[in-house]
Amino acid sequence: MSDAKLQSVLSALSEVPRQLNALPSSKAPDAGCIKLNTNENPFALPAVVMQSAIAALERQYLYPENDNISLREAAALTYDLSRDQVIAGNGSSELLGLIYRAFLAPGDTVAMVSPGFSFNRKLALLQGADFLEIGWGEIHSLLSKQLLLGPAKDAKFILLANPNNPTGTFIPIADIELLVAQSDRLIVLDEAYVDFAPDDALRLVKRHANLLLLRTFSKSYAAAGIRVGLGFGHPEVIGRLRNIQNVFNMNVIGHAVGVSILSNRSAYDENHKQIKYERQRVSAALSQFGFTVTPSHANFLLARVPAGRDSVWWQASLERKKILIAVFPDRGLEYSIRVSIGTKAQMDAFLAAVSDIMGAEDLEGRP
């Protein structure tokens, strides 16, 4: 296509896509690397769940069930809700996109307790909305007066995650209920990591019409590649979101695996126990190496690196040893790395790599 034709095509884009650069193709990760950068749960699916996925392949020629009725019914039964209080999605990220489309118009404001899930920034941009990030340092704790009467007072909805990503910190449920009870706006609570935490807010859904709670099977149920997400809220809110959802938004394997997981949650008890144990073990080991580790209630650790190098240097050094970890550009996180908790063998390899790097480099006194 000639430059003139290309410019003509691009000029026809709507305003927001015109602001976005074309997304370049990224490089596939080295298959020999240990992935500790995206918080997947590395354990195999329980046999009964795997069998449900294989059986679903026999129905590959059929469209999946519209409106995800069976999955929604299974979730309602599991969590003691009505079917109309449940929405199912192709991962919780799809459900987030629906919320932005349903509640935001150009010029509106959405607020997020930050640092948080960076994809929210793009979702706000696509709606032409202002994205307000409220740092933990600004609010100190989740006091409703500071969120509702401060910079976020005009936000159409407020986003927070509990436990939070990338910090792993946990907010007492009583504090969340105080915020929801005193707000007349939607509060979107992402509980992606809640199965590794001491409590959850699901009971609040029945009490408060302005709470919308999101869950995913990617983290605690080892189904990141299958894409199953759930949302819980008031039937009126949930019904309106379902009405703008894409037809056949989930596939037959996602439906089958989702239903099977809900029926066999106890099969994951050992999985969760191992991750919590490794989380504590790796946290203690990193502290011995001179890292400052934030206490975590998720399946990852956020650790400030020893003085002398920044997070990007550590990421590159570990990648050379075939270990992938995450770093963030957010202010205040320039010297922190996030490490997903994997199997014992994976975490042994990570700690051995850290030990090798520490031994090869004199980090003391570096700027």
| pLDDT tens-digit profile, the chain (367 residues) | 567 766 767 677 677 776 776 667 677 677 789 999 999 999 999 999 999 999 999 999 999 998 999 999 999 999 999 999 999 999 999 999 999 999 999 999 999 988 888 899 999 999 999 999 887 655 445 555 666 767 788 899 999 999 999 999 999 999 899 889 988 889 999 999 999 999 999 999 999 999 999 999 999 999 999 999 999 999 999 999 999 999 999 999 999 999 999 999 999 999 999 999 999 999 999 999 999 999 999 999 999 999 989 999 999 999 999 999 999 988 889 999 999 999 999 999 999 999 999 988 654 444 4
The CATH code of the domain that includes 78 is: 3.40.640.10
Domain identity same for 82 and 189: yes
In a domain, 365, yes or no: no
Cα–Cα nearest to 366, from 294, 301, 313:
313
- The count of domains in the chain is 2
In a domain, 37, yes or no: yes
Domain identity same for 313 and 257: no
Q: For residues 170-198, b (16+ Cβ closer than 10 Å) or e, as one string?
A: bbebeebbebbeebebbbbbbbbbbbbbe
> Helix 252-263 and helix 69-79: axis angle, to 10°?
20
Domain identity same for 92 and 210: yes
Domain identity same for 71 and 94: yes
The answer to whether 179 and 206 have CB atoms below 8 angstroms apart is no
pLDDT of residue 183: 87
Domain identity same for 169 and 304: no
In a domain, 176, yes or no: yes
Domain identity same for 220 and 290: no
The residue segments making up the domain with residue 354 are: 27-43+269-359
What pTM, to 2 d.p., does this model score?
Answer: 0.91
pLDDT of residue 118: 86
In a domain, 34, yes or no: yes
In a domain, 3, yes or no: no
Q: What is d(CA 343, CA 41) in angstroms, rounded to the nearest whole number?
A: 9
Domain identity same for 99 and 213: yes
Domain identity same for 88 and 150: yes
Q: What is d(CA 109, CA 208) in angstroms, rounded to the nearest whole number?
A: 22
Residue ending a domain, among 236, 263, 290, is: 263
Residue ending a domain, among 263, 295, 320, is: 263
In a domain, 2, yes or no: no
Domain identity same for 185 and 331: no
What is the torsional sign of CA 329, 333, 335, 339?
Answer: negative
Domain identity same for 273 and 173: no
In a domain, 7, yes or no: no
The CATH code of the domain that includes 293 is: 3.90.1150.10
Domain identity same for 98 and 31: no
The answer to whether 347 and 281 have CB atoms below 8 angstroms apart is yes
Domain identity same for 169 and 58: yes
